[in-house]
Amino acid sequence: MKPSHSLLRLAALVALLPLAFHASAVRPRPIDCGKARSIQPGWTAKQVTRTLGKPYMLRLSRNEMTFGWVTMDGSDELQVRFDTTINDADSRTVMSVEGTCHGERIEVRRSPAALFSDTEIPGAPRRIDFNGIPFYLGYIAESDKRSMRYVEYVPDGQSLGHWKQMIAVFLHADAKTPESLLDTARQGAEDSGNPHFKQIHVSTTGDEAVAAFPMLRDDSVEYQIALWRTVPGGTMAIVYFSRSYQDEGIDIEAYVASEEARIDDHLAGLKALPSITPPLLGQSGSLTLTEDGTDDGKVLIPATRKARD
């Protein structure tokens, strides 16, 4: 059901429109190294131009705004890249500063935590509540050829690399239907000799199906409750995952029995979730919303959410 991150962890996140390169009316001139080094992530474009003057070069597109300065002989250059999620160009904030001045390297980047801490993700709320527990958006991915997009949520204190509960939402944009996905899950259980597969529900119209089943991993046993629904553009899978690790001395049969006893409650929790639509990234790629940008990092909790909790 859930693909490996390594299959989708690509560097590119958004397909850029063709860049527009513009040379401004300003001529190349010496760069004040002290002023160049004073620029920090979070500065606005207006602050930058007040400090360094008008840029010699502009790179502009829907998804990029970069200012550039260069000396007459080309020995020194500086590029400042801005966050384009803000509509007003003067208010866009610095994401990175890169270049050289008097032969010394300048390189400052905004950390993932600072960059995405309060970024709203279209279609995917940063926080959802599942049976009274807050879960936070930690991962967004899109497969090759856009056949599937998905998002993952985990509770605070758990990570994408080591979690005990997860909510994931998959949008299958291919020809898969709720019934075909149910059949695939059932066949997988039969092929592996899994006696615990449960078909919970199939609508008479075939546009909704529900199943619950455990899966044995190398280091853990996992229980899934999958709710498949036909939606515009494909089939949505809303899935609750529970996981218990082998090194915890788990009794697999007892664990499965305890999860089966909670199927109704967990299914009700899935149906009560707000609308979640995995966003388009523009091309196959992924975005990890953790403090250090890795699967083992702490999932980012937006500051606005912390204030409410």
Class of domain 115-308 (CATH, top level) = alpha beta
The pLDDT value recorded for residue 61 is 79
Q: Which residues of 21-44 are buried (b: 16+ CB within 10 A; e: fewer)?
A: eeeeeeebeebebeebeebebebb
CA–CA dist 93, 89 (Å, integer)? 9
The pLDDT value recorded for residue 87 is 76
Q: How many CB atoms are closer than 10 A to CB 97? A: 23
pLDDT band at 152 (very low <50, low <70, confident <90, very high): very high
Domain 20-110 has CATH 3.30.1480: no
Across 150-174, average pLDDT: 96
The pLDDT value recorded for residue 105 is 95
- What φ, ψ does residue 261 adopt, rounded to 5°? -70, -15
Mean pLDDT value across the chain: 86
pLDDT band at 302 (very low <50, low <70, confident <90, very high): confident
pLDDT band at 272 (very low <50, low <70, confident <90, very high): very high
CA–CA dist 42, 47 (Å, integer)? 10
| pLDDT beyond 90 at 276 | yes
pLDDT band at 110 (very low <50, low <70, confident <90, very high): confident
pLDDT > 70 fraction of the chain, expressed in percent and rounded: 86
List for the chain the helix, strand, coil content (%; round to 5).
20, 35, 40
The pLDDT value recorded for residue 88 is 83
Considering only CA atoms, which of 71, 60, 64 is closest in space to residue 21? 60
| pLDDT beyond 70 at 306 | no
- Please report, in angstroms and rounded to a whole number, the separation of the first and last CA atoms in the chain: 32
Please write the tens of the pLDDT for every residue from 52-99.
999 999 988 767 899 999 999 989 999 999 987 677 888 888 888 999
The pLDDT value recorded for residue 149 is 93
The pLDDT value recorded for residue 48 is 95
Which range among 43-47, 129-133, 247-251 has the greatest average pLDDT? 129-133
The pLDDT value recorded for residue 260 is 98
Across 114-134, average pLDDT: 87
Going from N- to C-terminal start, the domains of the chain cover 20-110, 115-308
